[in-house]
Structure 1
Amino acid sequence: MRTVDVTDDLQAYLDGLVPPRDDVLARIEEEAHRESIPIVDPHEGQLLYLLVKVAGAKRILELGTATGYSGIWLLRGANGGSLTTYEMDHERADRARANFSAAGFGNQALVLEENAKDGLEKLDGRFDACFIDLLNSFRSE
């Protein structure tokens, strides 16, 4: 495998493409590590941000919320857009709502406490982007 040396200037440029990880994200990362809650890693979050931003997505669907970490990255990239996300665990759904509010997205994130496989057919309209973070639920299909 060939590696690429990254200069300080290049790293600064790359870091400038995405928003910094603030106190809310740092807290969620620490809680996830301490409580073994599965979340995307920070680089994956930054990639989600960039993909949504480049696509110009405004209406985003997320399947699998956990505590809202990836949803915050998605909403930051959506620049005023909205997120509809599914989480079956009541405690995690409540934590996600609190985290969305703490990040300034309380009015832009709709957390549905339902199995995504059952809820998808009830959704109206189209979405510009979808992040599926529960593929293990679809193994037999």
Structure 2
Amino acid sequence: MNSDKQPEIKNTPNEQPEDLIIPLVEERVEIEKKQYVKSQFQVERKTETKKVDINEKLMSRQAEIKHVPIGQYISDIPKIREENGVKIIPIFEEHIEIVKKIYLKEEIRIESHESVNEFKSEETLKYQTVSQKKISTDK
């Protein structure tokens, strides 16, 4: 910087004339940040429904348990077995006589039955869509 003015020289009683005080100039930079809206969007979310037909075959299985009295003495304990798709579980008890014999008291027979049924229904399913719309542009 050029200045027509000469720096002021001050002499105090304790200072010697060769001590000069020269003022210096300092420059500073200030930075400022600002936010501004460049664009705006509107986002809309919709929940909609639609009907869907369901047409499926459902299988179910039921078990029928029968107690079948046998009432006879046997020589060996029978094992669990299956005859014509029927599971047979022998139930026995021991009787004491002069000779021990195995008495087949009853059998439990478990039969499985399957059936196929038509299942029809109309259900309402929800789904969402999103759309956006620009509502302002750059300035």
Q: Which has the higher contact order (CA 8 A, sep 6+)?
A: 2
Question: What's the TM-score bracket when you normalise by the shorter of the two chains?
Answer: under 0.3
User: Which structure: greater helix fraction?
Assistant: 1
Q: How high is the TM-score relative to the length of structure 1? A: 0.15
Q: How high is the TM-score relative to the length of structure 2? A: 0.15
User: Which structure: greater strand fraction?
Assistant: 2
